[in-house]
Structure 1
Amino acid sequence: MPRRTASLLTSGLLLIGLLFAAVLVRVPYAEMSPGPTVNTLGEHNGSPVLNISGEETYETSGNLNMTTVRVTGVNFRMSLFEAVRGWLAGGSAVVPYETLYPERRTADEVEQINAEEFSRSQETAKVSALRELGYEVGTRTIVSSVVKDGPAEGVLRAGDVIVAVDGEEIGEPSEVAERVTAREPGDPVVFTVDRVPGGDEGADGAEGEAGTAEPPAGGSGDTAEAERLELTVDSTAAEDDGRPIVGISAGVGYDLPFDIDIELADVGGPSAGLMFALGLVDKLTEEDLTGGEFVAGTGTITAEGRVGPIGGVAMKTIAAREQGASWFLTPSANCAAAAADPPQGLALVEVETLEGALDALEEIRSGADPESLPLCSRAD
């Protein structure tokens, strides 16, 4: 065989081998891309996103869109070819797999965690919105998580209101641990709880964070129809220090003055909290918050109204602009990343609190110059 022909054949075989390798070799990366956006003031799949009963509501206009990011699944293993294509393509981001999934979890565990975070964001959105409007929101101590295979699994449920432990009334979540650790490992601990019929079974999680199960979102939190139960859990010794534990976490639950339901399926994570809170404020006040403007945004929110950072902000700004948004409410901690390469025509407004977001909306609906608002800027 002539040398030139042999060289060409060898090169061709090498190229074919490289192409096969690019397709078959898996690399530790994942992909993010812009996801759907939903107007919290409107409907999704034919149903209102925000449902309020027992209190007067008002007509709204414009948009207050929550934004999402599509990500490759926990079980997806990207090929080298797909990674290179993602790096070269616009409108998506290829990131290290550990960025999206920092701990080894199953797909079911990831889905469970996302659902719990979404439920938590709904609750804190309701509380922050109502407190901003001056409503009284009561608190109570609840079972906020049940550890899989722990002593309390199948006995206590996430959402149970903890009235007493071993006959001593509970006023704060911290008092639950104090009562349990006052016993010896192996001792029975008697919980007096109020349980709403049909509540969360709370025993399907996995150990640690994946085992948390927030109480169902929506409703007033009224326990008037709850059943009073006395339930005994045999404690066990913690692996790290031997202290007595029962396999639950206690947290704060809320008693809302009227019923609020947030209906939005197939969405997970905590980042819609700010936009849910703004939507609720808009529906519960006569003032039209947007003045007909298309505003989108993102951000976690605490019950006290603090706005926290989220992931994938660049993808969310793209999604918002593609849907027609002119304004994007951006958590302060995400501002530099969002401003690094913002979509043209989208003003990135920096927010730190729910009150600050409401102030920004007042400026927006009044037709103020964007430069008069606290806009995000690139990092130096």
Structure 2
Amino acid sequence: MRTPRLSRPLFLALCALPLLALLVAAVFAPLPFSIAMPGTTVNVLGEDRGKPVITVTGAETYPTTGQLRMTTISATSPDTTVRLGDVLTGWFAADEAVMPRDSVYPVGDTVQEVREHNAETMKESQDDATTAALRQLDLDPDQVKVQLRLADVGGPSAGLLFSLGIVDKLTRDDVTGGEVIAGTGTITGTGKVGAVGGVPLKTQAAERDGATVFLVPKAECAEAEAELPDGLRLVPVTTLDGALDALQALKSGGRVPSC
């Protein structure tokens, strides 16, 4: 008795079923990515929701001109399911980026956990920024008190801009020279600037909100240059002191570091 043979088209169709099942699963399966976009920017020399971002007591402050805009990214929340279609769209969109979820949310699996972590790292960043600025100006932290307010923004990446803003308010010399300066970077209490994520998206946000200069951690120069908006000048920095020197050179027409 002969075993019936399957026709070739039917045989190929049956073989393709497992592959088709895998493709369907890949399309609908959740992936460990977040989709990020340019976020808001805030002038730390101004106000946020009607209150000064920087308030200093115990020392004389001076009027400021220009702006120091800290930059952010906006990303899908940690409990949002990202699928293959979202990833493909993000890869080809000029104003989106596909980032490993762990790089956007290194701690926490829920919105509440992420908010708590971001609030904690923001507080630490503000403390370090204040320490670095007062140390730069040789001021006694027991006598000079700084309060930093910024709603709905978390994480440590505004540290450099906070320090620059504090220095600007406590010195007669105008740090910005009347220009709109944006940037990003963590900072330590000793004034060392550290790398952050999402720099290309932050440069887009800065250019959108009128900045002409962007202070970038030197380690992220190449990433920032790769997708730099027209009309935005990159200035690499490694320390608070170096950032202040670069801004002074911009005002005076001196030699300004470049990537």
Asked if Structure 1 and Structure 2 have the same fold, meaning a TM-score greater than 0.5 normalized by the shorter chain, the answer is yes
Residues 282 and 289, structure 1, Cα contact 8 Å, conserved in 2 = yes
CA-CA distance at 1:98 after TM superposition: 3.2
SS of corresponding position for 2:196: coil
User: What's the CA shift for 1:341?
Assistant: 2.0
> Whole-Å Cα distance in 2 between the matches of residues 75 and 38 of structure 1?
26
The offset of 1:39, in angstroms, is 0.5
For the Cα contact (< 8 Å) 2:107–2:113, is it kept in 1? no
Paired letter, 1:59? P
> TM-score of the superposition, structure 2-length normalised?
0.86
Structure 1 residue 317 corresponds to structure 2 residue 203: yes
C-alpha separation in 1, matches of 2:101 and 2:54: 34
CA RMSD in angstroms comes to 2.1
Alignment partners' CA distance in 1, 2:51 and 2:24: 48
Select between 333-342 and 92-101 the one with higher mean Cα deviation.
92-101
Alpha-carbon distance change, 102 to 303 in structure 1, aligned in 2, over 3 angstroms: closer
Q: What residue ranges of structure 2 are gaps of 5+ in the alignment?
A: 1-20
- Spell out, residue by residue over 1:60-102, the C-alpha distance to the aligned partner (whole angstroms, 9 max, x if none): 0001111111111111111222222211211110123333235
Three-state SS of the structure 1 residue aligned to 2:248 is helix
Cα pair distance change 1:135/1:103, threshold 3 Å:
closer
* Counterpart check, 1:289 vs 2:172: no
- Aligned equivalents of 1:66 and 1:309: distance in 2? 14
Of the three residues 273, 281, 284, the one matched with 2:159 is 273
Matching residue's letter, 2:95: G
> 2:68 aligns to what SS in structure 1?
strand
Greater shift, 47-56 or 94-103, is seen at 94-103
SS at match of 1:73: coil
- Contact (CA 8 Å) 2:107, 2:114: kept in 1 or not? no
Q: 2:70 is paired with a residue of what secondary structure?
A: strand
**Separation in structure 2 between the aligned mates of residue 49 and residue 66 of structure 1, nearest angstrom:** 11
Contact 1:360-1:373 within 8 A present in 2 as well: yes
User: Aligned AA for 2:256?
Assistant: L
Taking a change above 3 Å as real, the CA distance of residues 61 and 29 of structure 1, as seen in their structure-2 partners, is: same
Compare CA radii of gyration and give the structure with the larger one: 1
Letter in 1 for 2:94: G
**Does 2:231 align with 1:361?**
no
The percentage of aligned residue pairs carrying the same residue is 50
Q: Deviations over 1:342-379 (max 9, x none)?
A: 111111101011000000110112244xxx31111xxx
Report the count of equivalent residues: 239
Residues 39 and 202, structure 2, Cα contact 8 Å, conserved in 1: yes
Letter in 1 for 2:216: T
Secondary structure class of the residue paired with 2:178: coil
Which residue identity is paired with 1:94?
V
Alignment of 1:24-103 (within 5 A): 24-102=28-106
The AA in structure 2 aligned to 1:30 is S
| Secondary structure in 1 matching 2:219 | helix
Question: Is residue 228 of structure 2 the alignment partner of residue 342 of structure 1?
Answer: yes
The answer (yes or no) to whether the contact 2:108–2:114 under 8 Å persists in 1 is no
Return the structure number with greater helix share. Answer: 2
Query: CA 1:78–1:373 in 2, change beyond 3 Å: closer, same or farther?
Result: same
**Alignment match, 1:163:** none
Residue 303 (structure 1) aligns with: 189
Match status 1:373 vs 2:259:
no
State the AA in 1 paired with 2:214: F
Structure 1 unaligned residues grouped into runs of 5+: 1-16, 138-255
For residues 324 and 94 of structure 1, the distance between their equivalents in structure 2, rounded to whole angstroms, comes to 25
Q: 2:46 & 2:114 partners in 1: Cα distance?
A: 29
Deviation at 1:20, TM superposition (A): 8.5
Give the whole-Å Cα distance in 2 for the aligned partners of 1:268 and 1:104: 14
| Kept after mapping to 1: 8 A contact 2:66/2:177 | yes
Q: Report how far residue 32 of structure 1 moved.
A: 1.1
Q: TM-score, normalised by structure 1?
A: 0.60
- Over residues 222-256 of structure 1, what are the superposed CA-to-partner deviations in whole Å (9 max), with x where a residue is unaligned? xxxxxxxxxxxxxxxxxxxxxxxxxxxxxxxxxx3
After superposition, the Cα gap between the structure-2 partners of 1:42 and 1:104, relative to the gap in structure 1 and judged at 3 Å, is closer
1:134 aligns with 2:138: yes
Amino acid at match of 2:140: E
Aligned runs of 1:158-197 on 2, under 5 Å? Answer: none
Task: State the distance in 2 between where 1:102 and 1:288 align.
Answer: 37
